[in-house]
Amino acid sequence: MAKKVRYRVAGGCALCMTCIYQCPVNAISLIEDVSAVIDQEKCIGCGSCYNACQPEAIVQEKIEEEA
């Protein structure tokens, strides 16, 4: 099923790793001392990371449906 939203770490990541523990498909990894990053190929768009991120570093973006 095509995703309608995309989640992305935009900035202000506190490196807390909460999102990494929340993600059901292990789509998030941490670039040490920099930021968490979401692998868009693995992400299923569940929103758990977005809801869990206290500093609101993760943004939700609407995307066009892909075939």
Residue type for position 12: G
Q: If binding is defined by CB under 6 A, does position 59 make contact with ligand SF4?
A: no
Among 8, 29, 45, 59, binds ligand SF4 (CB under 6 A): 45
Q: For residues 19 and 48, what is the distance between their CA atoms, to the nearest angstrom? A: 7
- Is 55 an interacting residue with respect to ligand SF4 (CB under 6 A)? yes
Q: Which of 8, 29, 34, 44 binds ligand SF4 (CB under 6 A)?
A: 44
Go through 2-39 and write b for each residue having 16 or more CB atoms within 10 A of its CB, e for each that does not. Answer: eeeeebebeeebeeeebbeebbeeebbebeeeebbebe
Does 29 bind ligand SF4 (CB under 6 A)? Our answer is no
Q: Which is nearer to ligand SF4, 46 or 65 (CB)?
A: 46
